[in-house]
Amino acid sequence: MKSLYRLSLCSLFAAAVLGPLPVQAHPGHSHRTTDAKSQERTWIAASGAFRERGTFVMARDGQVQVRRADESLVTLPIELLQPEDQQWIERRMAEIRVIAEMRNLLYSDAKATPAVEGQIPDPLRFQEFLLAQRDPIKKGTEVGQGNAPEMAKAFEAFVKLKAIKTRWDDRYFYVESNGIPDHQMMVGITSWQQQVPLPQKYTGDNAWQIPLHPVPAKTPASTKDRFLRGAIAVAANGIPIFNPLNNRGDDAYQFGELDEFGGHCGRADDYHYHIAPVHLEKTVGKGLPIAYALDGYPIYGYEEPDGSKVKNLDALNGHKDAKGNYHYHATKTYPYLNGGFYGEVVERGGQVDPQPRAEPVRPDLRPLQGAKITDFKQTKPGSYLLTYDVRGKKGTVAYVLNDDGSARFTFTDTDGKSNSETYTPRRRGPGGGGGDDRRPPPPPPRPGEGRPGQGRPPRPGENRPQRPPRNEPPSTGESAAIPDSKLPKLVVTSSGIKADGNLPAEFTCDGDRSSPPIEWAGAPKETKFYALNLWHVAPGNDIKSYWLLYNIPASSGKIPKNVKDVGQLGLNDKNRREYDPMCSKGPGVKKYHVTVYALSSELKLSPDRANRAALLAAIKDVAIAEGTLTFQYERKK
């Protein structure tokens, strides 16, 4: 009787400390408890040197132990983590100390049996024990339809079709899928980056999760210049929906990047939508959402649930119904779906966090100019054929998915030349879902070949594909002059640079001497200003600076061609405050680089002294991210 009293008392204390105890969900959960899953987070170094996704295990002697999704353990120094993570650990350990005291109270009875004590040898196990006392639904037990949340109705049709699986706990609704829809894909794309649909493992701890109880944000966040990485919503068929703007900030639909259903594949060969999938209404049924935003609010089609006309949408493409419930709508013009987040979300690395990760199998290739995808089909289970057209000539990409996760590709270009390549799965790294801006590392060199990446399949119409301008330093010839930064990476691009990585003459001394347009994405939310430098490694590893801009406002994600009155102009190597167009006198192709820095504060640089050396010295303690775009130019004599 005494022990029962103590158990009741401890349960009351646990409720006060831990809050409402969660209920287990559908089969398919990890063996870890629901409470343990709620601890899963992305652990980030204050310097940006590392990111680890995992569940808290314990903290001791200045170290925190984290369990990854694959059940492996990693130990991280607490002092190196960002302040938010350090504070979370302090709160968590305070809770565990209270739980430990309750355990001591419960088992202070000398007659307690060793067998019972052995079931809870540490505070974490004791917490699980307390949770079990209040959990009316045991792990592995199906939750009845009567217990299903309202959100489940939108996904029910695809659950019945066995296209997806769903489950839920007291906080989140989880959607599992393989990332492949049952409709035609890829057909109609006229701006193709040579990706093809490959299945993804959006399952288990890598499933999509949607808040069951969304909370309105104090300041709603727009997606017009933010959240350019990863998904912003999940469709009713389990396919992620990305920002309608691609990672360059351009409308993906208007640029011809999407197929007839509003989707395409990212650089990890992950299929996703960029506009609202209104075609799903035929399956989910009238009056139900076609998707849910990652803030937990539903997205409906072009009409209200009752079939009436949509009126008075706000800047986020949403409004409240007669009962005061907020929801978004699909529209036929930008932003096409939720234009931001009415509810609270966490933004990390330019995307909503947490969200699943795509698993690339092969390196990404550069866009194929002039190609239009005319057909994509499954020729037999696990085998696929994509057909494209370039100026009336047909090319194909055939691939077979093997049981071991590898994929064999056969590329046949428009001249009828074929080449085959087999790729094996790559280890999934940290980071968010989706692949529009994910660039998998190149494969190692093969015997007799040169630098990494030369073992890729040929680009149709060429002997070997070449990569687009990369958001990283070049790997040959200049590595000694380019430091290996540990800062988080910005994605830097330019619509003014050709697909083959060459700079057009208009931006050189042989053209109209205009500065090129530059875009970037993925900046930390702490960014206050940007700085930009265009430079080149001359013979002898001397660095020449052509263009320097600093104190560019954080609201900017790009600068236009021949930019004027944005930020402050610094000095080039000719000691002039202007853009110095490239005018190479030596023979051969030259490489150039544009590096963009995200800064946590304004630079106090005098414009008449702001050269490259002064810039690098000034940003030493305030640079929080950077990215480099590499391109080339060969002057024609």
The predicted structure's pLDDT at residue 586: 60
Residue 539 pLDDT level (bands cut at 50, 70, 90): low
Give the model's pLDDT for residue 141.
30
Domains and CATH numbers, the chain: 2-134 (2.30.30.700), 147-353 (no CATH), 468-637 (3.90.280.10)
pLDDT at residue 260 is higher than 90: yes
Q: Give the long-range contacts of residues 499-506, CB within 8 A, separation 24 or more.
A: 499/366, 499/367, 499/369, 499/468, 500/366, 500/466, 501/366, 501/466, 501/467, 501/468, 501/469, 501/630, 501/631, 501/632, 502/631, 502/632, 502/633, 502/634, 503/582, 503/592, 503/631, 503/632, 503/633, 505/636
The mean pLDDT of 446-464, rounded to a whole number, is 36
What is residue 587's predicted lDDT score, i.e. its pLDDT? 65
Name the residue with higher pLDDT: 317 or 543.
317
Q: How confident is the model at residue 274 (pLDDT cuts 50, 70, 90)?
A: very high
Given pLDDT bands bounded at 50, 70 and 90, which one contains residue 390? very high
Instruction: Round the average pLDDT of the chain to a whole number and report it.
Output: 79
pLDDT of residue 453: 35
Has residue 33 got a pLDDT over 70?
A: no
Q: Does the CA dihedral 635-560-336-291 come out positive or negative?
A: positive
**pTM tops 0.75:** no
Tens of pLDDT along 467-503? 333 333 333 333 334 455 678 888 888 888 887 788 8
Average pLDDT over residues 241-250: 88
206 pLDDT more than 60: yes
| pLDDT score recorded for residue 131 | 44
Percent of the chain with pLDDT over 70: 75
Q: Which pLDDT does position 130 carry in this prediction?
A: 45
What percentage of residues in the chain have a pLDDT greater than 90? Answer: 44
- What is the C-alpha radius of gyration for the chain, rounded to an integer number of angstroms? 27
Instruction: Give the residue-averaged pLDDT of 628-633.
Output: 89
Which helix or strand (DSSP H or E) is residue 536 part of? strand 529-538
Structure tokens at 153: 């109705």
